[in-house]
Structure formats: C-alpha cells, structure tokens
Amino acid sequence: MLTKLKFKKTKIIATLGPATSSVEKIISLIDSGLDLVRLNFSHGDYDTHAEYISNVRIAEEKTGRIIPVILDLSGPKIRTGNFENGKIFVNANDEVRLIKENITGDEKNIPVNAPQIIDDIKVNERILIDDGKISLSVISKEKDSLLCKVFNPGYISNRKGINLPDTNLSLPSITEKDKKDIEFGIKNKIDFFALSFVRKPEDILSLKQIINSYGVDIPVISKIERPEAILNIDEIISASSAVMVARGDLGVEVSPEKVPAMQKLIISKCNKLKVPVITATQMLESMVSNPIPTRAEASDVANAILDGTDCVMLSAETSVGKYPELAVRIMDKIIEETENIKKIRPVNYSDKISKNLLDIICKTAVDIADSINAKAIVTITKKGRSPLLLSNLRPESHIIAVANEDNILRKSSVLWGVDTLVYKPLSNPENIFSTVKDLGLKSGFFNYGDKIVAILSYPEFLPDSANTIRVIDI
C-alpha cells in the first residue's frame, strides 16, 4: 500500500476539522506531505468524527498510502461555566468566588464544570483562566467556594479553560466522556489514542486496560501537559507507545519560558528510551490566517527536528485555518531543508549497544548503510520491533518496513524515517526486495547503481528474527 517513497524523515501530523473534512482536502494534504491525522475530541460530535475517519480511509485507497488516525481524548479539561450575556469583565484587585454550584455566573461568582477541584485547591495557589490571560490567587477557602483575588483584568467568556499549575488534582485521568469516546474509536478502528493531562504512569495503564477489555491492542500516546508529568517523566515515557510534547497547556501550567528546555529534555529522554515523540501546538500558528509563517515559527519547527523529534504536528492551522494545504507544504519544506543541514544522530548513539541480537543487527546495518551511503535499509517485520530500533538510531538512509498486515505498519508510521510497505506473502524475501527496488525506481527515489541494506533471517525466514545483513545493488 505504498505508491512512492518519501524524501523527508520527520513525520507530519495534521488535525482535521471543518477546513479539511472532505476526501479531496485530505488527499491534498497527503500530496502536500501529510503522514498521520489527528481528531480532536474536545470538539465535534460522533457523526462528524465518523465522517472524518471514513474520508481518511477513502483517501488512503485513492492514494495508496497508509494514513493512521489519532483519536485525541479530551481528558479532564477544567472549564468555567456559563455567564449572563456570555461573558463577564473582571478588574485587577477584584475579589471573585469560584463556586461548586451549577448556576449562571456573574462578576462575583464563577461556576466550574468540575466542582471537586474546589476541594483540591489550597490557599495561595494560582488559578489561570483562558490560557493564563486571567490570573487569580486564592485568598480563602470555604466548603463550596474559593475566594480569589484578580491579578490582571479582562473578559471571561463561557466555558473558558482553567489551569491549576500549583494544585495536585484528584480528578480521574479518564472521564466518562472519554470512555464513550474510546468505545467509539475502537468501533471505528482508529490507530492511536492520545491521552490528555497525563500525570503518572498509572493513567496510561488505566487506558490500556480499558482498550484491552475490548479485545484489541491500540497504542497510547501520552500528552505531557502537567507539572506532575515532568516529575514522573521517565516512568510515563516507559509506559507509553509514544509521547506528545503538548506545549499549549504545558506552557500555561509551567510558564512559557520553561517550555523550550522541557521540550529538549522530553525529546532527549524519549530518544534514549526508544519511544517516538511528537512536538505539538502553535508550530505554524500564524498560518491560521496568513499564507506564510513567521521566521520564528520556521525556526521552531527546525529546532524540534534538530532536537530529535519523530513528528511535528499542526492543530488549528489545518483544522480551521485558511491555508491548510499550504501549512503542510511549508512544514514539509522546513523539514527537508533542516534534514539536509546535518546528520540527525542521537547524542547517545555510541551507547546504544545491547546484548540483544536484533539490537546488534540493527546498529550494524545502520553503520554499514552509512559507510556505503545506502539509499535505504529494508526490514521485514511482524511485530514492528526492528523499524523502531532502526528509527531510533537515526540512519542517513531511509528505512522501509515491510509487513503482511497494515496494522503493524500503522504503528510504525509515527517513527522517524520509516516508510511502510504491505506485502503478501512474506515467505519470499527475494520477491520483496525486487518489489522495493521497482517501487524506488518508479518513484525516482532509487537510481541504478544505488545500494540497499537488507535485514533478514537466513536460511529460515522469520520476520523480526534477523541474523543476516545483505547489501543489494540496484
């Protein structure tokens, strides 16, 4: 199900929305460089999301590309309630109450959608509303309300987000809405779940238990948005199929100036622990309404790539923006230019020695491929382990993962540098290598005289049990 080999290695994820809902728009995004799609379940109903998924599958058939679908769960997002006339204005030094009662709010009383947070918040802790535009501090606490002082003036509209950077929350990581969304996602055969506001590894295990109760195994992406997640970052990464640096809420919770260093820390740890990582939020934000990004945005994308990210993600740029295809195309160009300027080699590459045979085979294959300037490393996989190991080593060559089931390759689509090819049956590797050569020649990726490094088992053919490295001339 691969029609051509891609020249870039860092993957692009685009969020679908009203601006990109049709089959034609999705195909245009694919042609522009799209690799995966995200559905934001904080917005839209089931009929809308079912249509998006159906249209992605149609676009896959028409383009011959595997385009995995990520279902991004809302999680325990805390919001204000509704107000008279839809909004209120608060002045600096005003005193307002956050209340448990589900009433229409006014200038003195702000209802919240999760009343249990009133019990969690302590005196002197901060309450940030609407991405930090309005900042409150708790003066005193009563049974059903919090008396707060306003630090900066502004409007508070209906259902604005609330962040609590100083508070240890007791909210469950998976809400009742999330549970319904999980069931919907499984029925509609989505490829990844993204879990919002992860605080500890147990949050991920809880989601995996729910998924497994349906008799399926779907990878979980952990979104790093809370300070508690940073404290437990190694354990969270180890429990995850992938990690997303969700810089929107993270930047509110920990303050914007700390986000760049945290991004580098998380990416570095993911690289070291062999877990793919996604950098997300406001990457080309100005392209929601402008046809070109700012220079700072272009640098932001490039720096995430140089940090070692596997994927970069677009949100509002493609879901509601005026220039969704152009945003993907420009991101694709930034990736290509950045990948040309230096070898993206992990800082701990020399330490990546293991006693595991597959680890050793993969590292040796990368060293050989780099030495002979091979155009691609081909690996035949049944579980997706060898593409992960090869990707983590960041070879100069592209990686082509071959499997007889596309669900394995969908999981590999999030990996840096990995192209995927469905091939049935897997019993004859010579035919597979011949197909890969023909495909590369037709797409212009290979030229006669190029070399491929192939990983396989010999004499008995067993995917993911490699014991042989072969160099193949085109």
Residues that are catalytic: 38, 79, 223, 281
Name the burial class of residue 192, with classes exposed (0-12), middle (13-18) and buried (19+) by CB atoms within 10 angstroms of its CB: buried
Residue 438 and residue 419 in contact, taking contact as beta carbons nearer than 8 Å: no
Residue 219 and residue 193 in contact, taking contact as beta carbons nearer than 8 Å: yes
Residue type, 252: V
- Cα angle 469, 408, 204; round to 5: 120
Alpha carbon distances (Å) from 381 to 197, 230, 272, 280, 337: 33, 33, 22, 29, 30
d(CA 95, CA 82): 19
d(CA 369, CA 376): 8
d(CA 253, CA 439): 48
Give exposure, 130-166, as e/b (b: 16+ Cβ within 10 Å): bebebbbebeebeeebbebebeeebebeeebbbbbbb
d(CA 198, CA 195): 7
